[in-house]
Chain A
């Protein structure tokens, strides 16, 4: 490269912006579906999960990208796993020390960040061949894209399933229950999250036709 690229160049910003819509990790790359079903019953844990995944992804992407030229390709998957697992344990320990309540709600899901396909997917597909800064931007973008879907799904699941938004009993306050409305317990079960993700994918593809795969 002859001249230094600015930190927030068009190319780098595109790395953040693309995963929010056209290259969304959940709805387009179809990675990380499992946790999208598991932690989206309430908005708060969904948000913490999104932040945790973004933090782990950003840290792993940068670390992996820094050492990418020294990693023997034959053991690169093991190295990726080690880096991700280390970051996950760090996040888990920090949550346990500073936001104990939320760490109890997330319980096993934090450990399951390791198995979140987004992480290994981005390490293998992006950080493996790019410099630390673009890798960091890529992680932010994918983390945000993941979080966007999580928050959207959990908003509807919490509103329809528990009648609250971010823990605030909004339906009770506006008096919907007086009309005979009851919370739909079915929404709080994982299968409905899958239906919601399906609806989002449908909406997105009917608006952005170029996302529809050619048969």
Chain B
């Protein structure tokens, strides 16, 4: 066996590490636009699903073009509000980093709203959700009818919840339960939707079934939804009073 001096070993490792670092940062820079595009399409697809659109996704050949087309057709507007419900100018709702916003004090939060105009030309509103699951982040989108109370649709996604248990929150059977549930009680307080272990009463307009074996993740969805919608509380209120006048 050849023997190598300590100096050689040091030089060899330094050169190797430098070469690897240069190569990897170069590749990461080159591929970043394509990767960001994929994330953008994924987000648009999730927003579309929360209003029941994009259902041909799995059949389409050019998925990106399909999603872009549907998105520009149905998502007719988006804006950013503050926690008092006033519109903020000069911000792009799509590119708001939700996680960052939620770490700010309530008064400084930028809250995005997406407007969906269906084939019946009625407007519905999509609100993004972000929260913590059992193992990692969970997120989703919930769309409300123009009474700002009845849920029109909801999607949830996760980074790494337990397969077959908590991970099921991204399945339709869990998500369709939220449709037509109400987030406000009779007094107009925001109560959101509870998940009930062992099965919810089907007549309860504020409750859905939790996932068996996935209780922690189900409860995380419940908390995420309540926490995120609460930020929009004054916005909902201002719209309600606006309608009464």
Interface of A toward B, CB cutoff 8 Å: 69-75, 78-79, 82, 86, 89-90, 93-94, 96-98, 100, 107-108, 185, 188-189
Q: Are B160 and A72 in contact, CB atoms less than 8 angstroms apart? A: no
Provide the B128-160 mask, 1 if CB < 8 A to any CB of A, else 0. Answer: 000000000000000000000000000000001
Total interface residues on B, CB under 8 Å, equals: 22
Q: Are B24 and A188 in contact, CB atoms less than 8 angstroms apart? A: no
Please, how many angstroms separate the alpha-carbon atoms of A89 and B23 in the complex?
Answer: 11
Q: Are B28 and A93 in contact, CB atoms less than 8 angstroms apart? A: yes
Using CB atoms, name the residue of chain B closest to A90: B27
Please, how many angstroms separate the alpha-carbon atoms of A102 and B24 in the complex?
Answer: 22
Partner of A72, one of B12, B23, B31, B34: B12
Partner of B13, one of A75, A93, A94, A97: A75
CB within 8 Å for A107 and B160 given contacts A72-B9, A97-B35: yes
Provide the B170-194 mask, 1 if CB < 8 A to any CB of A, else 0. Answer: 0000000000000000000000000
Tell me the smallest distance from the CB of B134 to a CB of chain A, in Å.
16
Tell me the smallest distance from the CB of B199 to a CB of chain A, in Å.
20
Interface of B toward A, CB cutoff 8 Å: 1-2, 4, 8-9, 12-13, 16-17, 20, 23-24, 27-28, 31, 34-35, 38, 41-42, 160, 164
Please, how many angstroms separate the alpha-carbon atoms of A112 and B199 in the complex?
Answer: 38
Q: Are B23 and A188 in contact, CB atoms less than 8 angstroms apart? A: no
Please, how many angstroms separate the alpha-carbon atoms of A20 and B206 in the complex?
Answer: 58
By secondary structure, the A interface counts as helix
Using CB atoms, name the residue of chain B closest to A107: B160
What 6 A-B pairs are tightest by C-beta distance, nearest first? A100-B38, A72-B4, A97-B34, A97-B31, A72-B9, A97-B35
Question: What residues of B have a CB within 8 angstroms of the CB of A69 in the complex?
Answer: 2
Please, how many angstroms separate the alpha-carbon atoms of A78 and B9 in the complex?
Answer: 12
Please, how many angstroms separate the alpha-carbon atoms of A73 and B3 in the complex?
Answer: 8
Q: Are B24 and A100 in contact, CB atoms less than 8 angstroms apart? A: no
Q: Are B4 and A188 in contact, CB atoms less than 8 angstroms apart? A: no
Using CB atoms, name the residue of chain B closest to A78: B13
Q: Are A82 and B20 in contact, CB atoms less than 8 angstroms apart? A: yes
Please, how many angstroms separate the alpha-carbon atoms of A49 and B122 in the complex?
Answer: 46
